[in-house]
A and B are shown apart, each in its own frame.
Chain A
Amino acid sequence: EPEVTQTPSHQVTQMGQEVILRCVPISNHLYFYWYRQILGQKVEFLVSFYNNEISEKSEIFDDQFSVERPDGSNFTLKIRSTKLEDSAMYFCASSYLGNSPLHFGNGTRLTVT
């Protein structure tokens, strides 16, 4: 069964550094998302992306965050200057339609020191 793949599985970075989290959504899916989950807490929506532009973003997704689909397969989340509170598991997801179930990747655990 096709799946969403994320790399790396774990990223450690120093505060103030830039990080790029990478995702390969399911190939025929049209909608892409980033969610995050701070350890032991609930899953929070960050951003949705369709037709090469952001559809919706949450309050968490401030100017430090950006997303890009640089080619036909990858979908990236960039955090420009990481803060300690950015430490979380970041999940990429994709769906075929906007109202289809989301398929989540295995996540990237980001640790900011």
Chain B
Amino acid sequence: TQLLEQSPQFLSIQEGENLTVYCNSSSVFSSLQWYRQEPGEGPVLLVTVVTGGEVKKLKRLTFQFGDARKDSSLHITAAQPGDTGLYLCAGAWYNDMRFGAGTRLTVKP
């Protein structure tokens, strides 16, 4: 079983739509990170959230860390084809980061 559960596993939407993906765990994390990965490349860090209830915005992306620091969400407004990719959440776990299985997002023009 994964330490971090991401949902949905796959998401296919039209350009201009809004979407939210989720990252849930029964464990408490000192910090949580979101990454985006494109085919043939390594994950690229989007944001780190540390404080329970924290909200961070990165252009059209809004990240929220749950009050209990067990879950997080990523909301994308007016999705564009360039947002297509695998979105991974990762939680700080002892001396390392542990990843969820990811949400594969496809945005159709």
Say whether A and B bind each other: no
Q: Which residues of B contact A (CB under 8 A)?
A: none
Q: Which residues of A contact B (CB under 8 A)?
A: none
